[in-house]
């Protein structure tokens, strides 16, 4: 039988996106070899072009200082006042929105707060916020604090939707049924595009339709979807969305985030908003008038002037997304993650359970793995596998209580990386087997 690594290398050679890996820096092991990096779901790798993009802005600051705000400094180099517009347009194309429905600003949790200021308006019996039970902690804290901000009690108003007993996944149908039965008390549904722990992707159109049919507002946390899944955010009908850019979008640690506000809310004067001068429409922004004149669309939610140095690496990364194209990236992602999943099941099925749905339509590139309990708990064995992989330069991450997340990112991961993962996981299983006998 052909060696797995050889098969993987043949696949890499036939991969139309194979050149893109060379556009990134890979962290090194102590022996100088590149690590096998599967943590793009947490922090995407640095595009090699990021440094030059940042240098360009440092240079503009050094040599032009304040005039760089308004004057372009060379071809393909926007004035700082225009800088976020290009990012918003690129991000809008990635998430299936119009450019003026997207604003690039702040960080993810801050944007969720700003969106909830506008879209969580508890009234009468309609006061509740629905989240999924395993929601990312920051979202839960944000939601609970918004409820308290309105003088309400999270114990009454925060509804945490759980999977059916025995399952780690929530079916869209469950949420639809629940909203149909209880929706008149719900003011807002805040839902993930892709669940960070299980890797389950949701049908956003169905969630948004169910929430809106119940009379609730609906927003999405797309931290794990943007740059990972093809999205049609505008068509989903949601009211808002927010996402960070340091995961699949490779914008760098703590990079600037984005928010989407559906076109139907553009210019709605009745919608409350926390405002600042940068949300004022451009032609009168510098007239410094006492009255706020909102920019059209999502730009009205921008509070402060843009952090150019934090945006430059994102600009370099979005260029790569533009070159590769989301359609090609998704096609590779489905094949690459599918290949890894099939081999985990075939070679390691006795040891590892894949928690992420098997249907490629219900997942992105991430697989969430759990070591099956045997004698000692799966938790302890899982920690041993995670540590074993780390010792061998395979970077995955651990999420309590027992999940190892592995994300083959189509922009820079290869089949050979997956073969490496499989080889080391098999070695680990072998050592566990021999230490048990
Ligand atoms: C799903 C999800 N929501 C929210 C956050 C919080 O993001 P930030 O710290 O950028 O606000 C994260 C961070 O990893 C996340 O994964």
What's the whole-number average pLDDT of the chain? 96
CA 242–ligand 1 middle distance (angstroms): 10
* Predicted pLDDT at 375: 46
CA pair distance 227, 409, nearest whole angstrom: 10
pLDDT at 146 over 80: yes
pTM to 2 decimal places: 0.96
How many angstroms from the chain centroid is the CA of residue 334? 17
Test site for ligand 1: of 113, 116, 131, 223, most ligand atoms within 8 A of the Cβ: 223
Mean pLDDT, residues 83-110: 98
Instruction: For ligand 1, atom 13, name the residue with the nearest CA.
Output: 223
| Model confidence pLDDT, tens digit, residues 153-173 | 999 999 999 999 988 899 999
Instruction: With beta carbons less than 8 A apart as the criterion, state whether 125 and 152 touch.
Output: no
Give yes or no for residue 402 CB within 6 A of ligand 1: no
CA 192–ligand 1 middle distance (angstroms): 11
pLDDT at 2 over 70: no
* Predicted pLDDT at 376: 52
What is the three-class DSSP state of 352? strand
CA 180–ligand 1 middle distance (angstroms): 29
pLDDT at 121 over 80: yes
Instruction: With beta carbons less than 8 A apart as the criterion, state whether 141 and 116 touch.
Output: no
C-beta neighbour count of 163 within 10 angstroms: 17
> H-type helices in 192-264, by residue range?
204-213, 233-236
Give yes or no for residue 136 CB within 6 A of ligand 1: yes
pLDDT at 395 over 60: yes
| Model confidence pLDDT, tens digit, residues 312-353 | 999 999 999 999 999 999 999 999 999 999 999 999 999 999
Give yes or no for residue 138 CB within 6 A of ligand 1: yes
Q: For residue 381, what are the CA distances in angstroms to 348, 377, 399? A: 14, 7, 14
Which value, to the nearest 10 degrees, does the dihedral of the CA atoms of residues 162, 168, 170, 174 take?
A: -60
Here the contacts of 57-64 (C-beta below 8 Å, separation 24 or greater) are 57/308, 57/309, 57/312, 58/309, 61/308
| Model confidence pLDDT, tens digit, residues 26-68 | 999 999 999 999 999 999 999 999 999 999 999 999 999 999 9
pLDDT at 377 over 70: no
| Model confidence pLDDT, tens digit, residues 269-301 | 899 999 999 999 999 999 999 999 999 999 999
Give yes or no for residue 39 CB within 6 A of ligand 1: no
């Amino acid at each position: 039988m052909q060696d797995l690594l050889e098969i993987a290398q043949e696949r890499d050679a036939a991969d139309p996106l194979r050149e893109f890996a060379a556009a990134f820096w890979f962290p090194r092991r102590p022996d100088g070899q590149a690590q096998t990096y599967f943590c793009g779901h947490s922090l995407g790798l640095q595009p090699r072009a990021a440094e030059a993009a940042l240098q360009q802005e440092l240079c503009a600051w050094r040599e032009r200082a304040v005039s760089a705000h308004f004057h372009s400094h060379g071809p393909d180099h926007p004035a700082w006042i225009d800088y976020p517009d290009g990012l918003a347009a690129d991000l809008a194309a990635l998430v299936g929105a119009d450019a003026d429905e997207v604003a690039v600003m702040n960080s993810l949790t801050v944007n969720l707060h700003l969106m909830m200021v506008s879209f969580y308006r508890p009234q009468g019996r309609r006061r509740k916020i629905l989240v999924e039970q395993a929601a990312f902690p920051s979202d839960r804290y944000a939601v609970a604090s918004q409820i308290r901000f309105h003088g309400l009690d999270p114990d009454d108003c925060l509804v945490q939707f759980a999977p059916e007993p025995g399952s780690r996944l929530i079916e869209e149908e469950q949420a639809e049924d629940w909203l149909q039965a209880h929706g008149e008390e719900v003011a807002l549904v805040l839902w993930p595009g892709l669940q960070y722990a299980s890797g389950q992707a949701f049908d956003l159109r169905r969630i948004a339709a169910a929430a809106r049919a119940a009379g609730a507002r609906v927003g999405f946390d797309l931290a794990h979807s943007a740059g990972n899944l093809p999205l049609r955010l505008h068509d989903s009908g949601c009211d808002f969305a927010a996402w960070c850019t340091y995961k699949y979008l490779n914008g760098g640690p703590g990079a600037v985030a984005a928010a989407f506000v559906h076109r139907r809310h553009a210019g709605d004067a009745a919608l409350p908003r926390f405002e600042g001068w940068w949300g004022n429409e451009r032609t009168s922004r510098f007239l410094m008038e006492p009255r706020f004149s909102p920019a059209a669309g999502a730009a009205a939610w921008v509070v402060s002037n843009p952090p150019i140095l934090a945006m430059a690496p994102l600009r370099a990364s979005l260029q790569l997304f533009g070159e590769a194209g989301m359609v090609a990236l998704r096609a590779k992602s489905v094949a690459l993650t599918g290949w890894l999943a099939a081999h985990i099941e075939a070679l390691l099925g006795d040891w590892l359970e894949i928690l992420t749905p098997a249907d490629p339509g219900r997942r992105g590139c991430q697989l969430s793995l759990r070591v099956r309990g045997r004698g000692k708990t799966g938790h302890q064995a899982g920690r041993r596998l995670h540590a074993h992989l780390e010792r061998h330069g395979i970077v995955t991450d651990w999420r309590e209580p027992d999940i190892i997340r592995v994300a083959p990112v189509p922009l820079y991961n290869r089949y050979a990386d997956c073969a490496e993962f499989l080889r080391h996981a098999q070695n680990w299983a072998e050592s566990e087997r021999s230490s048990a006998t």
